[in-house]
Amino acid sequence: MKPTIKYPIIVEGKYDKIKLDSLVCANVITTGGFAIFNGDERLKLIKKLAKDSKVILLTDSDGAGHLIRSHIKTALSPEQIINLYIPQVGGKEKRKREASKEGFLGVEGTDSKKILELLAPYLEGANEKPRGEISKVDFYKYGLSGTNNASKRREELLKKLDLPVNMSPNAMLSAINILYSKEEFEKIMEQ
């Protein structure tokens, strides 16, 4: 029996939806890729879903996924969004003849175990980790901001945490707050 996710999940395309439908019971909505920029219908649906519940935003870790994620984030308040990020792994989806423009696997090509790991805190009955405990002050404390080599340290940490290296510092902070408690983050930084 597939686990049930308590929040709607927003993905880019139909193959991402097929992948998630094979792994979990959830309300999975597609943006239609860049079609989300061409009309109000999909964005209206996402806004309606987020009105009474949070939504999980799970886009590819490439430039297109970043643009789609940013567009949706402008339409919703931060409290309505759970930003989850797949690792930035090079490769090609099985159904495609060649790799994507940037050469990274999308949601559909990401390891099923990794996707389930990302979604685990949002299963029906699961206790969500405390969020928002890690601050910009913590980033400064560990040299992830405010220093000459902060961008390099952030990139190294993103690679270590299996997160996309093209994340902005604010997106990185948001993702780390979702994935780790403050104690877990401090342990990672002390290693």
The series of mean pLDDT values per 10 residues for the chain, 191 residues long, is: 91 94 93 85 85 91 90 91 88 76 84 92 74 85 92 91 83 82 89 83
pLDDT at 11: 95
Written as six digits, the tokens of 100 are 């994507």
Phi and psi, residue 56, nearest 5°: -95, 125
Q: Write the CB contacts of 95 (distance below 8 Å, at least 6 apart in sequence).
A: 15, 108
Reference 58, options 92, 102, 23, 90; nearest CA is 23
HSE, side-chain direction, 13 A CA sphere, residue 23: 23
CATH 3.30.420.40 fits 9-122, yes or no: no
pTM of the full predicted structure? Answer: 0.76
pLDDT at 132: 62
Location of each CATH 3.40.1360.10 domain in the chain: 9-122
pLDDT at 130: 58
CA distance 45 to 5: 18
